[in-house]
Chains A and B, each alone.
Chain A
Amino acid sequence: MKYALYLGCTIQSDQYGFEASVRETLPKLDVELVDMEDTSCCGFPALSSVSVTGWHYLSARNLAITEKMGLDVLPLCNGCHLSFIETIHALEEDPRLKEIVNRNLEKEGLRYEGTAKVVHLIEVLHDAVGKEGISEKVKKRLEGVKLAAHPGCHAIRPSDLQKVDDAENPQKLDTLIKALGAETFDYPEKIDCCGSQLAVSSGRSTLRIAGEKLQAVQSYGFEGLVTTCPFCFKMYDSRQRAIRGAMRDRSIEVPVFYYTQILGLALGSSPEKLGLQMNQSPVDDIVNKILGDD
């Protein structure tokens, strides 16, 4: 298993914990990650909102780089993932747009053909490595820890464009959590949006969207929330204090993890190597519970 690693703007400039935990854990599961050179923004959703052509150009440009590398691409961010999927579809449907894009890519010696496959982290872990592949490498089982799965919208919808998991009943992230020995179960708010795409422009409304979910997660007895999306993570983890304020509820206290962070703990990596010191939600108790006495 070998993939071109596309980080995207948010992860490489802001979410070091995600990137560090991915680089720490995936090689342990025999997944080789190759860094991409000269990548740029995927264009979603700000640029796409004002120029669909500009968006597809930027997306296709990054895809063309992976084609040149001869590798399938693993965009770590849910947003970039869907952006690439949408672009592949749009350029397939509209040869005129593909021509415009390629005319511009030619100038830097790139060409978009649509041959590189876009894979999601959940697909790599669930479909390629598999739950047995993970379980057999687990050194420290996460026994007795109840974690809620939050795959995030752009990993599962729209289902006519992608099939990472079922759009209304996603189960793969749950399977991956269970592969570590932790507990999880379905809950009504599992596929709810985190609101992060509007976090800056409509702050108060989106803090309520995220806050209602955190309250629900806590009320079901989950001890933490697990995601693979940097935007959802920022919403639930980094903005949790603001959420408490917006909800006027000081009892909200939900540890939030990237899946690769708890995967790393189970594989025996140190919290520092997984960037856990950068999580802003109260993760320490759970981390200590998982690490036990050593």
Chain B
Amino acid sequence: MVSSKELLKELLTDEKLGYCQSCGSCSASCPMTRVIPEKYNPRTLLQKIHLDPDGMSEKEELWLCAWCYRCTERCPQGIQPTEIFLLTRNFAAEKGMIPANPRRIIKEIMNSGRSMPYGEFIDELREDYGLPPIGEVPAKVLEEQRKIVGEEFLEVVK
């Protein structure tokens, strides 16, 4: 497994996040900041991650990005906040800090190969709408994805 800490370190260097001018284009473009400004602000979050990536692992705000990529699109310094948030989440996850909802979805992906539960009823419904059956994801694939995501990590998402 490629270490998220290693990847994150590259993004937090002086040549990357160090170029942030705190202009606030990210926060001004953020849909979550618009509705919950008291809880979520990408500019502040970036500063906190820069100063103490370890200390952010348990913070709820780390999981409040809606992945709209507007901050990344508009950052005049090319900082890629979305990428930084993603890797900081990975970093937190490696230490076992995963909120209940993503944990539930990941468990589903690991068990069925899909983010939504599969049952025969799905293919029955699909048949009603004239759609071909999808069937189960082959067991071999599930085995491989467990290995690549890491057995150790799977303990975390159990």
Cβ-defined contact, A209 with B31, below 8 A:
yes
Give chain A residues whose Cβ lies under 8 Å from the Cβ of B102.
46, 49-50, 201
Q: Does A175 contact B (CB under 8 A)?
A: no
Given contacts A16-B126, A193-B66, contact A41 B113 (CB under 8 A): yes
**A208 → B minimal CB distance (Å):** 5
**B37 → A minimal CB distance (Å):** 11
Cβ-defined contact, A52 with B105, below 8 A:
no
Given contacts A20-B131, A57-B148, contact A193 B1 (CB under 8 A): no
Q: Does A202 contact B (CB under 8 A)?
A: yes
Contact of B141 among A61, A97, A157 (CB under 8 A): A61
Give chain B residues whose Cβ lies under 8 Å from the Cβ of A167.
73
Q: Does A47 contact B (CB under 8 A)?
A: yes
Cβ-defined contact, A10 with B116, below 8 A:
yes
Give chain A residues whose Cβ lies under 8 Å from the Cβ of B70.
153, 157, 191, 193
**B110 → A minimal CB distance (Å):** 9
Complex alpha-carbon distance, A5 and B2, angstroms: 30
Which secondary structure dominates chain B's binding surface? helix
Cβ-defined contact, A46 with B115, below 8 A:
yes
Give chain A residues whose Cβ lies under 8 Å from the Cβ of B31.
192-193, 195, 209
Give chain A residues whose Cβ lies under 8 Å from the Cβ of B115.
9-10, 41, 46
Given contacts A43-B109, A45-B67, A158-B69, contact A108 B147 (CB under 8 A): no
Contact of A157 among B7, B32, B72, B147 (CB under 8 A): B72
Cβ-defined contact, B106 with A53, below 8 A:
no
Which residues of A, 97-117, contact B by the 8 Å Cβ criterion?
97, 100-101, 104, 107-108
B63, B132, B141, most chain A CB atoms within 10 A: B141
Give chain B residues whose Cβ lies under 8 Å from the Cβ of A58.
109, 145
Give chain B residues whose Cβ lies under 8 Å from the Cβ of A57.
144-145, 148-149
Residue count of chain B within 8 Å CB distance of chain A: 59
Which secondary structure dominates chain A's binding surface? helix
Cβ-defined contact, A50 with B144, below 8 A:
no
Contact of A23 among B80, B131, B144 (CB under 8 A): B131
Residue count of chain A within 8 Å CB distance of chain B: 61
Q: Does A35 contact B (CB under 8 A)?
A: yes
Give chain A residues whose Cβ lies under 8 Å from the Cβ of B122.
12-13
Q: Which chain A residue shows the least CB distance to B113? A: A40
Cβ-defined contact, A157 with B69, below 8 A:
yes
Cβ-defined contact, A201 with B63, below 8 A:
yes
Complex alpha-carbon distance, A204 and B2, angstroms: 36
Cβ-defined contact, B153 with A157, below 8 A:
no
Cβ-defined contact, B149 with A47, below 8 A:
yes
Q: Does B45 contact A (CB under 8 A)?
A: no
Complex alpha-carbon distance, A13 and B7, angstroms: 34
Q: Does A94 contact B (CB under 8 A)?
A: yes
Which residues of A, 179-216, contact B by the 8 Å Cβ criterion?
191-193, 195-198, 200-202, 205-206, 208-209, 212
Provide 26 A-B residue pairs closer than 8 Å at the C-beta atoms, listed in order of the A residue.
A12-B122, A12-B126, A13-B116, A23-B131, A38-B138, A46-B102, A47-B105, A48-B86, A49-B63, A49-B90, A50-B153, A51-B1, A52-B4, A54-B148, A54-B149, A57-B144, A104-B148, A107-B140, A107-B144, A108-B138, A159-B73, A193-B31, A193-B70, A202-B36, A205-B35, A209-B66
The 3 closest A-B pairs by CB, nearest first: A193-B68, A50-B93, A54-B149
